[in-house]
Amino acid sequence: MAVRLKAALGEEVLDLKAGDVVYLSGRIYTARDAAHRKILELSKKGKLPFELDGAVIYHCGPVVRRKGDGWEVVSAGPTTSARMNRYLDEILSLGVRGIIGKGGMEVGPFVGRAVYFAFTGGAGSLAAKSVKRVVDVHWLDELGIPEAVWVLEVENFPLLVAIDSKGNSLYR
Amino acid sequence: MEGLVDTIVDAIRLAVTTIPEDTVKALRRAYEREESEVARFNLCNVLRAIEIGRNRSIPVCQDTGTLTFFVKAGAESPYLGEIEASIIEATRRATLEIPLRPNAVDVLTNKNSGDNTGKDVPVIHWELVGGSEIQIAVLPKGGGSENCSALAMLTPAEGWEGVKRFVLERVKECGGKPCPPVILGIGVGGGADYSLTLAKKALLRKVGERNPNERIAELEEELLEEVNSLGLGPMGMGGNTTAIDVKIEVAYRHPASFPVGLVVQCWANRRAFLRIKADGRVEVWQ
């Protein structure tokens, strides 16, 4: 089944099933290892500079280039999500409703609250076509381009529901 | 030598934007062989990404990797002394111009150098050979697949059966993480360090190109079949194609040791070569 979704997401994600194709539009946040640590540290202090309730987090370190005052995303495929397993439960407790990545994650923490979307690893040039603009970037100087949090506006980003909120997974 | 840095930048650009034709053919065949919707979704994305990379001259995968260079340096080449500095400068310029993702991070401070250079990176493997030509192979390789690489120090009694068991277990354990369909480089013998270098060098061979030793060529094909019978499939979500090739390179071993280096390469099988002749003529190819 193909479904169109708009981020931020709500309880509609609970109805998605592993194997569904989703076309995602709206705002998503890239985050890798260092960004996860930073997000969790700042959220404990109540100083997180963005709202993660209903948010979609993308495990991605893009190739970007300067465009005028802003940035352009050149290539932006997913990174290996399993590295972020250790932060998953806490990240989902912040209200995050969707994770985009590759390779899969621990299933347990998703049950009853969120879904894992897979995009094809390595297909960065194709993923970049769905990115309409860079809305913002956080902690660029501190973390560097791949690890910074890039706030991206995406349109019809084609994704597979690979782990659903009932605990079904497509991974072997 | 004038233009040497430009030529190395050209080779890096070719490697990250254009997936070699032998690999594309194997991926197309894999797409035709797959029946499940999920496997076809992933392989269709792979083939589209390859086309966009080539048409728009942008990196196919955002992880443009750590740049590794294998240099076969002719001892009589007049350019020997310039190669190292030119590779480092080309890496800096390629990062800015193509662009590449800056992937070089200080191990203590975690600070990114911003230009893919730093202590001992890019990695340069030197091999001094006869003659006056220099050949450089560029191998940009992503972190996701590199994290699945591994070393096993088998006992000689375990031998080739041990190699198969080790490789199959490792591939199964890694699942979708290295972005299958993968290419496996395997180095056997030569000591712990050298087996891994051999394994990485093996990836420079074309997909479908067998080891000239007949028995080793058979082992490559046997392992390819066994890896594919695991059913992990594209991105680890099930399917007929988990690997599109297996490459084995060997060196003699110590009688007490049976070292096996395994290097996993993702479907974005990036590589390019350049040759510098003594008269300054240059050739770039895949």
Active-site annotation of A, residues:
36
Q: How far is B27 from chain A (nearest CA, A)?
A: 13
Q: How far is B136 from chain A (nearest CA, A)?
A: 25
Please report which confidence band the pLDDT of residue B150 belongs to, taking 50, 70 and 90 as the band edges. Answer: very high
Residues of chain B with Cβ-Cβ distance to A105 below 8 Å are none
- For residue B167, the model assigns a pLDDT of 98
Q: Note whether B46 contacts A: Cβ–Cβ < 8 A.
A: yes
Please report which confidence band the pLDDT of residue B235 belongs to, taking 50, 70 and 90 as the band edges. Answer: very high
Q: Find the mean pLDDT for residues B191-199.
A: 98
Q: B273 — alpha (psi -120 to 50), left (phi > 0) or beta?
A: beta
Six-digit token string for B253: 């071993």
Q: Note whether B74 contacts A: Cβ–Cβ < 8 A.
A: no
Q: Find the mean pLDDT for residues B71-91.
A: 98
B247-277 pLDDT, tens per residue? 999 999 999 999 999 999 999 999 999 999 9
Q: Note whether A85 contacts B: Cβ–Cβ < 8 A.
A: no
Best of B235, B265, B270 to substitute, by most chain A Cβ atoms within 10 angstroms, is B235
Q: How far is B36 from chain A (nearest CA, A)?
A: 11
Residues of chain A with Cβ-Cβ distance to B61 below 8 Å are 75, 77, 121-125
Q: How buried is residue A94: exposed, middle or buried, by Cβ count under 10 Å (0-12/13-18/19+)?
A: middle
pLDDT < 70: residue spans in chain A: none
CB spacing of A147 vs B112 below 8 angstroms: yes
Q: Find the mean pLDDT for residues B173-190.
A: 97
Residues of chain A with Cβ-Cβ distance to B111 below 8 Å are 144
Residues of chain A with Cβ-Cβ distance to B142 below 8 Å are 122
| Average predicted confidence (pLDDT) for chain B | 97
Query: CA B53, CA A125: separation in Å to the nearest integer?
Result: 6
Q: Which of B101, B111, B143 sits opposite A145 (nearest CB)?
A: B101
Contact A162, A171 (CB under 8 A): yes
Query: CA A113, CA A96: separation in Å to the nearest integer?
Result: 9
Query: CA B168, CA B157: separation in Å to the nearest integer?
Result: 18
- For residue A2, the model assigns a pLDDT of 83
Query: CA B64, CA B154: separation in Å to the nearest integer?
Result: 33
- For residue A172, the model assigns a pLDDT of 84
- For residue B38, the model assigns a pLDDT of 96
Q: B113 — alpha (psi -120 to 50), left (phi > 0) or beta?
A: alpha
- For residue B215, the model assigns a pLDDT of 98
Please report which confidence band the pLDDT of residue B225 belongs to, taking 50, 70 and 90 as the band edges. Answer: very high
Give the number of residues written for chain B. Answer: 286
Q: Which of B42, B112, B267 sits opposite A144 (nearest CB)?
A: B112
Q: Which of A60, A104, A171 sits opposite B62 (nearest CB)?
A: A60
- For the entire predicted model, the pTM comes to 0.96
Residues of chain B with Cβ-Cβ distance to A34 below 8 Å are 110
CB spacing of B60 vs A129 below 8 angstroms: no
Binning chain B into helix, strand and coil, the percentages to the nearest 5 are 40, 25, 35
Q: How far is B209 from chain A (nearest CA, A)?
A: 24
CB spacing of B59 vs A162 below 8 angstroms: no
Cα end-to-end span (Å), chain B: 23
Judge whether residue B56 has pLDDT over 80.
yes
Please report which confidence band the pLDDT of residue B155 belongs to, taking 50, 70 and 90 as the band edges. Answer: very high
CB spacing of B60 vs A122 below 8 angstroms: yes
